[in-house]
Amino acid sequence: MSSGMRATGTRDTVVAEPKASRAPVPVWLFFLLFVLLFWAMYEFDRRGGWFHSQVYTPYRSLAELQRYQPATGGISLERGKVVYETVCALCHNTDGSGKPNQAPPLSGADWVVGSPDRLIRIPLAGLTGPIEVKGQTWNLAMPAMGAALSDDDLAAVLTYMRSAWGNQAEAITPDQVAAVRAALAGRMQPYTAAELQAIP
C-alpha cells in the first residue's frame, strides 16, 4: 500500500521525456565560425612571428635576454655577432668560412672588406649568378636575407663581419644602410656580381 503511493508520487513528477530529434544547424553559426577563424589567422599572422628563432628562443638568463634586444643607436659588435649567428651563419658558417655548394666565404673576401655601397646591397636585395670570391667562382643565389633587419642591426652585422675572422675594414653606420635602402627604392630583384662591380 505505502509502496504503491510512492510509486504514484514518482510518476507525477516525471515530465515529458527528452527525445532525440534533428534540427538544421543555423547558418549564422557557420558564418560566425568563419569570421572567428579568419580573425584568428589574421591575428596569428600579425603577432605570431612565424616561429622565428628570434621570437621563440627561450631565454635562460637576464644577460642573454639583454643580448637579444635591438640595438639602440651606435653599433654594437656583440649585437652584430648575435645577428650574424641568427641570420647569416646558417649558410656562411659561424667562422665566416662559407660552406661548399651553399655559400662563399666572408672571411678574407673583398666583397666584405671592400666598398660599403656594394656590401650593403647584397643582404638588402640579394645576390644571384656567378661571383668570384677569393679566386673561386660560385654560381648560386642568396635571398635578400637582410631586408627585414633594421638599419641598426644590418649596420651591426656588417660591421661585425668586417672586423671578425681576421677581416679589417672600417665600420658601416646605420646612416649608410639607410641611404642605400632609400636608393634601392624597394628593389626586389637580386643583384649580379657584374652589376655590383659597376657601383663605386
Q: Residue numbers of the site for ligand HEC (CB under 6 A)?
A: 87-88, 90-92, 103-106, 109, 111-112, 119, 122-123, 127-129, 131, 133, 138-142, 145-146, 157
Q: Least CB distance from residue 200 to ligand HEC, whole Å?
A: 17
Are 162 and 80 contacting, i.e. CB atoms less than 8 angstroms apart?
Answer: no
Specify the residue for cell string 568563419. Answer: 34
Q: How far is C-alpha 75 from the geometric centre of its chain's CA atoms?
A: 21
- Assigned C-alpha cell, 173: 653606420
Residue 71 or 103: which CB sits closer to ligand HEC? Answer: 103
CA distances from 39 to 47, 48, 50 (A): 12, 13, 16
Rg (CA), the chain: 31
Q: Least CB distance from residue 46 to ligand HEC, whole Å?
A: 24
What does the chain come to in residues?
200
CA atoms within 13 A on the CB side of 2: 0
Q: Least CB distance from residue 122 to ligand HEC, whole Å?
A: 4
d(CA 136, CA 138): 7
Residue 33 or 134: which CB sits closer to ligand HEC? Answer: 134
Which amino acid would we find at residue 53?
Answer: S
Q: Least CB distance from residue 39 to ligand HEC, whole Å?
A: 34
Residue 26 or 200: which CB sits closer to ligand HEC? Answer: 200
Q: Least CB distance from residue 65 to ligand HEC, whole Å?
A: 22
Q: Least CB distance from residue 124 to ligand HEC, whole Å?
A: 9
Residue 13 or 75: which CB sits closer to ligand HEC? Answer: 75
Are 121 and 177 contacting, i.e. CB atoms less than 8 angstroms apart?
Answer: no
Residue 125 or 131: which CB sits closer to ligand HEC? Answer: 131
Torsion of Cα atoms, 142 then 98 then 139 then 146, to 10°: 10
Residue 69 or 136: which CB sits closer to ligand HEC? Answer: 136
